[in-house]
Every structure is written in C-alpha cells, then in structure tokens.
Amino acid sequence: MMKSRTTDSIDAAQYTLRVEQTTAIVPCVGFVLCLDRMDPTGVQEFHDRGLEALGGAVTHYRAEQMKGRAPITGRTRKMLQTWLAKPTAGKQYYLEYYGCADEKGVTGAGLSIHLTPRTYAGQTPEFWKRWLASWKKLYEEGVRNLLPCTVLRITFPLDHPLANADALLAWIKRLRLVDAGEFASGYAGYALNHYANIGSVSQRLMYERLAALVLQHPGFDWHNTHYIVDRLLPFNPQTETFLPLIKRTNWLCLLSERTVAHLGGRQRIEELLAASAGIDVDAVATGMAIRAGSVPQTGDIPTGDTLPLFRSVAKVLRPVRMEALRGPGDGFPDERAQEWLEAFDNGSPA
C-alpha cells in the first residue's frame, strides 16, 4: 500500500487553479465547528483568536447584505460583538474574512462565522414540552432539515504555523467551545478553498476541477455553509431531541456527548476502532476527538492511497454522518457531491 501524503510532502501547486490573475482553487488546512446552541463568549473567542492567529493573512471581509468584499477596518472587528450583544430572534448573520480582494479570488487564509442565535437558558418545562411537540408533529408530517446550526470555520495556508498537525490540535482543544463541550460536531484536515464568483464560463471550469480533485484526493474537504447548515441537526423521534451529525470523516472528528451516546458510548467506539493501529481517541469535555493518523492526509485513489484509517473511522461514524449533500451546480452536480460524501463507505479499512 502506498504511503499517504503528509504536511511535509503536499505540493500546493498540484491542487491550485488559477484563471488569468484570479486564484480559483487553493489548498489549505481547515477546521469547522458546528454548534446547536450559542455560547456568545465562546463564539466571540473563536472569532478573536482566529483573527489573532491569521494576523495579516486576512485583509478583506464580507457581511450580511454586502455584494462584495471590502478592506477590514476597526469597525469590522466589532461587528460580531454587536450581533451577540443584541441578536434578533429568528435572524441569521454571517461574517467572512478573506486573504484578498474579490478580483484576486481566494487564498489559504479565511475565517467565517455563520450565526444562528439560539439559547435555551431559562426556558420552562412547559416551553420544552410545546417546542418538542411542534418538532415531533413536523417530523410526522415529513418535514426535515429545518433547525439550522451555527457554523464556524477557519483555514490556514499550508505554510502557516497552525497548519502543523500538533499545533492545530492544541489550538483547537484550547478553544472555549471545544474545551467546554459546547459544540454539536467538528472536523479538521486538508481542504480546498474555492472562489464561487469567478464568472459563468470559468466557474464551470473551476467546479469541474474542484470535483475532480476531491474525488481523486478524498482527504480534502470542500465547504459551502448553505449545504450543511440545516442538515446537521435532524430530529430524532426515538429520543425526541436533535441528533448532532458530522458532515463526513476527516483527519480529526469531534463528536458531542449526544452523538457518542447514539453510537453506543465511548467504550464501544474505542472497541470498534481498536483494530486499526494509528487511530487516536481522546476525551473532549463530555465528547470525543478521533484522529485518523498523526497528520492530515489527502489520499490519491489512482495510485492506491485510499486512506484506510479514514475508512476505519468512517465505518464507525456512518450512523451519524449526513445522508445527502448537494453539489454547487454546473461542473459539480449533486451526484458527484454525493460520491465524495460516500467516498469512505466502501473499500478496505486499516
């Protein structure tokens, strides 16, 4: 079996697409954290620590109704604080930081906050009874995917200090949201940032290349918040609550307490993974962190690098993985997105 690529050997140029002066696809190391409830202090800390870590690598932002990016200002950095202080019920907010202006496309640096303000503090038993009854009724009527989560994402260029596996893991574990177990799910590893507004002809080229890359190298994540925001918290009629799902297995997977319980408990998960040497399992507050190997990997299907450790983890986590993922459109249709989502379902685990 061919040895998997590591952070020491990945060739960024191999996965980069430029269209004239615009970078349309670029590799990076990314971390995504999904929340089913909102801890304002933890969200603000993710934002502040993220910007501190990225430093000058991010230069522009886009928020709410803005049509394009603008240079970061002091006011930009206070936006989230204002939203968290007095959120509007039922409203979703977004704030995204980029490493360049629109005409330059994308870089490996980025930070995004897609916020769905929701807190359950102080609610009465009567509220909970009515609230869950309404969701049970909707479920019985066939309604799915209506409870959106908050999605936080940060990406680091390959030459950034936090692109190092050990440094990234330590940074993640120190986050308040992770350390306190205030998350629904999370994942980290290699990712491909892509520029979705490059123009009709070039956009199809970009999406065709993105699909080809992630299917050949299934260790890469590709991200669009809108495709996952309302699919990671399905209603579970057996427990009459919401079950936090993971999008898909990556190098690092974070599981919440409810997800661990759904899989049979920590001991059961550890037993199922024990046969695969190289998988590390740690407690994270009341949840779990599972690493498929010591470093992120990309894989390379044509050369036989099928990421067996990822497949071992995926087999165990399959009951809590998203069922379906749609594609971004022309050049990357739904069936190719679904093929990527299911890439670790078949083949030999470690």
Span 321-349, pLDDT tens digits: 999 999 998 899 999 999 999 999 976 67
Task: Specify the amino acid at residue 178.
Answer: V
User: Do the domain assignments include residue 3?
Assistant: no
Q: Is 192 domain-assigned?
A: yes
> Is 348 domain-assigned?
no
* Predicted pLDDT at 4: 41
Position 239 scores a pLDDT of 83
pLDDT of residue 136: 87
Q: What is the largest CA-CA distance in the chain?
A: 60
pLDDT at res. 346: 79
Supply the pLDDT for residue 2: 39
One-letter amino acid identity for 240?
E
- Does residue 65 lie within any of the structural domains? yes
Quote the radius of gyration of the chain (alpha carbons, Å).
20
Residue 133's pLDDT band (boundaries 50, 70, 90)? confident
5 occurs within a structural domain = no
In a domain? residue 120? yes
- Does residue 347 sit within a domain? no
Q: Which two tokens stand for residue 109?
A: 């640096």
- Residue 110's beta-bridge partner residues? 98, 155
pLDDT average, residue stretch 237-249: 90
Rounded (5°) CA angle 225-7-59: 50
Q: What is the pLDDT of residue 199?
A: 67
| Overall domain count for the chain | 1
What pLDDT, on the 0 to 100 scale, is given for residue 6?
Answer: 42
As a whole number of angstroms, the distance between CA 108 and CA 26 comes to 6
Q: Specify the range with the lowest mean pLDDT, choosing from 21-25, 112-116, 124-128, 204-208.
A: 124-128
Q: What is the pLDDT of residues 55-108, one digit of tens each?
A: 999 999 999 889 999 999 999 999 999 999 988 877 889 999 999 999 999 999
Among 317, 310, 321, 295, CA closest to 344: 310
Instruction: Residue 117: give the domain boundaries.
Output: 12-341
* Pairing status of strand 150-156 against strand 110-115: antiparallel
Q: Provide CB contacts within 8 A for 313, sequence distance 6+.
A: 249, 253, 273, 276, 279, 290, 292, 344
Q: What is the pLDDT of residue 38?
A: 84
* Range name among 1-10, 73-82, 254-263, 283-292 with the lowest pLDDT average: 1-10
pLDDT-derived band of residue 122, with 50, 70 and 90 as boundaries? Answer: confident
Whether 349 is covered by a domain: the verdict is no
CA atoms within 13 A on the CB side of 1: 13
The tens digit of pLDDT for each residue in 264-323 reads 999 999 999 998 999 999 999 999 999 999 999 999 999 999 999 999 999 999 999 999
